[in-house]
Amino acid sequence: MKKYNMASLSILIALGLVGCGGTDDGTVENEQPPMEESTPTEDEGMAGDETTGGWHESLSFEEFQLDVEYKSEEYEVDYDYNNGNPEAEIQDTRGGSNIQVAGDEALDQLASILPELDIDEQTSPDELVQAVVEAFDLDETYDELDVDVEFFNNEEIEAEEDQNQ
C-alpha cells in the first residue's frame, strides 16, 4: 500500500508541476527593449511625423501666403506656424487639375520648399518674387502673383506683380 501511495504522490507532484508550469511557464521572454510609440510632441505639432520633422522650426517667418493666377488657372499656398503647430493648405488648378491639400499632406509638400526660401525682413519685394518663383518652380507666364510673408518679429513683406499691365 505504501508503494501505491508513494507512486500516486509522485504522479500527482509530476502532474502538478507540468500542469502549473513550475518555474518555466512556457512563455518566451522578450529580450528586446520595448519599442517607444512615436507620438507628436508639443513642439512638433501636426508635423510630428518623420517626413516633416521640425523643419518649420528653422523658418524665419511664421506666415506665408502665395496666390498665383494664370489665365484660367490658380495656385495658392497658405502656411501658418501657429505657435509650433503648423498648418498648411495648397490649392492648385494648373494643368487642368483641381488639387486641394491640407494638414500634414500640405506640410509634407512644403517641407522641401519653404526652408529653401532665403528671405528675411530686408528682402525687397522684387527679390521676394524671384525667390518664390524659383523655390516653387513656377511658370513665369502668370498673370498675377501676390505673396505675403510675416516674420516672427511682426515685420511683413508684401509683393504683388501684375504682368497684365
Residue given cell 526660401 in the structure block: 117
Mean of the per-residue pLDDT values of the chain: 80
- pTM summary value: 0.67
Evaluate if residue 87 carries a pLDDT over 60.
Answer: yes
Across the range 2-20, mean pLDDT stands at: 56
Q: How confident is the model at residue 43 (pLDDT cuts 50, 70, 90)?
A: very low
The Cα–Cα gap between 119 and 55 comes to 16
Evaluate if residue 17 carries a pLDDT over 70.
Answer: no
Number of Cβ within 10 Å of residue 136's Cβ equals 18
**Residue 5 C-alpha from the chain's centroid:** 72
Q: How confident is the model at residue 133 (pLDDT cuts 50, 70, 90)?
A: very high
